[in-house]
Amino acid sequence: MRRLFLIFCVLISFGYCVDTRADTSEKIYIDPKVARTVIEKHFSHMISGYFKADQTDIDDSTVLLHVMDTYIDVLKKNDGLISVDGVVDVCMSAFVDYYKYVKGTELKEQDFKDKCLVFVKDLMSVEYEDTNCPYVVTKVNGSQTKIKYTLPDNSGFIRSGGSIAWRFFNPGNLRGSDLQCTTIKTSPNGSFAVFPDAKTGEQALYNLLSSSPSYRDLTVRKAIYKYAPPSGNNTAAYVNKLKNAGINVDVKLSDLTEEELRHLQEMIMIIEGWKKTGTETSF
């Protein structure tokens, strides 16, 4: 839960505490399916006290459900990637639409902002409270080449050097996952997910290939062009490496056998630089 406060403490313009290590414009990954399940699980908690009885006669759950539905739709359209600022914007828009077109009620913009900040905090808290990451993950002295994994008892380890895939326990160089501990911004390549261990990182990659709605119906070739787009990769060479490894790149991911899917996963890990090339130091 400690990392949640890093997210919300940056909302300085709305009166929250400040933490310059976080970036509310930086996108994080939230699986739309997981989001829906967790929201429903915590629904009663999230609407409790959301409106004051003397401010409006609109039913709490009806309004908040409209906001949640809008939020889920945006997650689906953006493959689960959204920023804290993005959640606020979606929430604001949903509130405005609901009041204007459903209830015909006008509220001040600050009222929307205040309610949406509560929504952001509640939503993102419950999104991550059930994850099993034991570490607080940070850069050492702001360096992306030294990543510190700290347990609640203040013990842990530092991974230095090597590839991003190795330092972040992220064999697929995924940008985000519902299994991640957090994301770390790198330069010039953007943000990547950080996992608690190699097994979890491998599972996140397998889940993306085997069950992600935005990937399953794509051919391997099209999936790679989505996964490693030409704007930042030599995608054609990536596809050729898979072909040379005996992978049929013109078959849908959903039609691959378990063995073929695992082979694809292993090849992606190799291409993405998943090997030990750095050092790990305990503290």
Per-residue pLDDT, 241: 97
Per-residue pLDDT, 69: 81
Q: Could you give the dihedral angle defined by the CA atoms of residues 278, 280, 281 and 283, in that order, rounded to the nearest 10 degrees? A: 140
Strands (E), 102-189: 136-140, 143-150, 156-161, 182-186
Per-residue pLDDT, 193: 92
Give the mean pLDDT per block of 10 residues along the chain (283 residues): 34 30 60 68 58 47 73 81 80 72 60 75 60 85 93 94 95 90 87 93 92 88 95 95 97 94 96 90 95
Per-residue pLDDT, 43: 62
d(CA 12, CA 38): 27
Per-residue pLDDT, 173: 96
Pairing of strands 156-161, 278-282: antiparallel
Burial class from Cβ neighbours inside 10 Å (0-12, 13-18, 19+) for residue 70 reads: middle
Q: Which residues are CB-neighbours of 15 under 8 A, at least 6 positions away?
A: none
Instruction: State the pTM of this model.
Output: 0.58
Domain 137-282 has CATH 1.10.8: yes
Show the tokens assigned to 183: 């994301």
Distances (CA, A) of 270 to 46, 205, 206, 247: 43, 13, 14, 14
For the chain, where do the domains classified as CATH 1.10.8 start and end? 137-282
What does the angle CA 119 – CA 60 – CA 101 come to, to the nearest 5 degrees? 90
User: Can you tell me which residue has the tokens 């929201």?
Assistant: 39
